[in-house]
């Protein structure tokens, strides 16, 4: 079997069509798969409504906002909503049930537009504005959700993106997306189940990492306190914003900035192929920079860059060099803490919750307490560094799982690997 898979892969990579397969306008698939349908042919779309961020709370009627899809539901599907609203607010929104696909209708770039997850829970939840929903009775919805991250779907969604500072996509765009699937619903389901098992392992590893971050924050709170021999310092005296730009042609690796830090684009966020121009400018970030996403700071997207090489990432991100008289890991431990994020969010601007952002000029207005001597900073940083090193090992392992799973997904959803039913 392994030899057959390798042979099929080589043939397809060389532009050949293996025996038992067919070539379509959007890829090569098994001859017995359905490839002549688009999303509009197998289901119907609707639009989420309401659910402003300031109405979200910790209990009540379960709901999902489009920002949740970007930041909270990273495993292609979810079973429980993490936000809630009161009944009156929910009544003005769109109820959805198990098996509904949710697409983001708004994003920061064309490359990320139309991110998709499948709601797989049993209770009715409510979808907010800037979410496009899709319901099908013909194809396994989990299978379809996974398929939305295949090359042909990502490329087409990116081509539909409209706008500059904020990019939009609409249902009449999404309905044109090609779909390819086995005729057998049992085969569709088995493929989805295999990928879901991998997702579960990855989810457990991510929860382990999340718990480690919580423990680290507790340590930071204990060791970093205002005390004798410490002073207040404004961040503009500690951080210097980098404004260095480069293109992909300059040879830098392309990175992501997520809650896991700065990492190579090796999982579902790798969309380099969607960028049509090699002249697009990316921001350069260096090892030990402090990096954050202005719109996603509220979700904890801030880190000390521990990626092994200089890299490029989206120009919407902010990256700072730390003044050499300060210990980078010490400063980073403060800025990445939950307490500091809560404090600096007072500078958020924007009327829509998901788009509220902290500009660099406002971030640099923040004030923190620091020891008078660098030696004390170094001592504290060494304690926290041990924890961070262990966390990074767990993050690296999680990324390796995602990479293996990505390869498996490509094989299964293109039919290179067939499952027995």
The model carries a pTM of 0.76
CA distance 290 to 240: 10
Average pLDDT over residues 293-306: 91
Segment among 2-6, 238-242, 407-411 with least mean pLDDT: 2-6
Residue ranges covered by each domain of the chain: 18-183, 205-392
Tokens of 10: 């080589």
**219-238 pLDDT per residue, tens:** 888 877 767 889 999 999 99
Do 18-183 and 205-392 share a fold? Answer: yes
The residue among 398 and 265 whose pLDDT is bigger is: 398
Average pLDDT, whole number, for the chain? 86
CA 154 to chain centroid, in Å, comes to 14
Query: DSSP readout, 186-216?
Result: HHHHHHHHHHHHHHHHHHHHHHHHHHHHHHH
DSSP 110: G
Each as own residue / partner, the long-range contacts of residues 152-158 (CB below 8 Å, 24 or more positions apart, any chain) are 152/26, 152/27, 152/178, 153/177, 153/178, 154/111, 154/271, 154/273, 154/274, 155/273, 155/274, 157/113, 157/114, 158/110, 158/111, 158/113, 158/271, 158/274
Residues 301-355: pLDDT tens digits? 999 998 888 999 989 999 999 999 999 999 998 999 888 999 999 999 887 666 7
pLDDT: which is higher, 133 or 268: 133
pLDDT band per the 50, 70, 90 thresholds, residue 134: very high
Q: Which CATH class is domain 18-183?
A: alpha beta
| CATH fold group of domain 205-392 | Adenine-n6-DNA-methyltransferase TaqI; Chain A, domain 2 (3.90.220)
Rounded-to-integer distance, Cα 121 and Cα 95, Å? 13
């Amino acid at each position: 079997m392994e030899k057959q898979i390798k042979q099929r892969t080589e043939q397809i990579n060389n532009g050949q069509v293996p025996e038992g397969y067919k070539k379509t306008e959007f890829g090569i698939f098994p001859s017995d798969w359905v490839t002549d349908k688009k999303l509009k042919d197998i289901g119907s779309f609707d639009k989420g409504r309401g659910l402003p961020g300031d109405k979200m709370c910790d209990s009540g009627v379960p709901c999902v906002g489009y920002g949740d899809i970007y930041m909270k539901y990273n495993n292609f599907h979810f079973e429980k909503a993490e936000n809630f609203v009161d009944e009156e607010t929910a009544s003005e929104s769109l109820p959805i049930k198990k098996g509904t696909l949710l697409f983001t209708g708004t994003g920061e770039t064309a490359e990320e537009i139309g991110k998709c997850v499948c709601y797989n829970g049993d209770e009715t939840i409510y979808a907010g504005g800037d979410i496009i929903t899709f319901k099908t009775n013909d194809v396994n919805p989990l299978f379809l959700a996974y398929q939305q991250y295949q090359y042909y779907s990502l490329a087409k969604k990116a081509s539909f993106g409209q706008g500059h500072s904020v990019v939009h996509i609409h249902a009449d765009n999404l309905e044109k997306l090609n779909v390819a699937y086995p005729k057998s619903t049992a085969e569709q389901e088995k493929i989805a189940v295999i990928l879901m098992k991998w997702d579960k392992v990855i989810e457990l590893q991510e929860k382990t990492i999340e718990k480690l971050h919580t423990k680290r924050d507790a340590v930071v709170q204990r060791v970093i306190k205002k005390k004798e021999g410490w002073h207040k310092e404004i961040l503009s005296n500690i951080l210097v914003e980098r404004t260095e730009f480069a293109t992909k042609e300059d040879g830098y690796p392309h990175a992501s900035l997520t809650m896991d830090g700065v990492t190579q684009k090796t999982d579902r966020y790798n969309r380099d192929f969607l960028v049509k121009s090699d002249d697009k400018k990316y921001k350069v970030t260096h090892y030990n920079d402090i990096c954050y996403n202005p719109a996603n700071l509220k979700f904890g997207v801030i880190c000390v860059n521990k990626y092994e090489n200089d890299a490029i990432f989206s120009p919407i991100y902010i990256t700072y060099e730390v003044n050499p008289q300060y210990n980078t890991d010490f400063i980073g431990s403060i800025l990445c803490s939950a307490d500091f994020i809560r404090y600096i969010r007072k500078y958020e601007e924007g009327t829509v919750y998901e788009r509220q952002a902290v500009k660099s000029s406002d971030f640099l207005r923040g004030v923190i307490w620091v020891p008078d001597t660098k030696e004390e900073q170094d001592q504290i940083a060494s304690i926290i560094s041990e924890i961070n090193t262990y966390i990074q090992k767990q993050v690296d392992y999680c990324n390796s799982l995602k990479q293996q799973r990505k390869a498996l997904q490509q094989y299964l959803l293109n039919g290179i690997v067939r499952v027995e039913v």
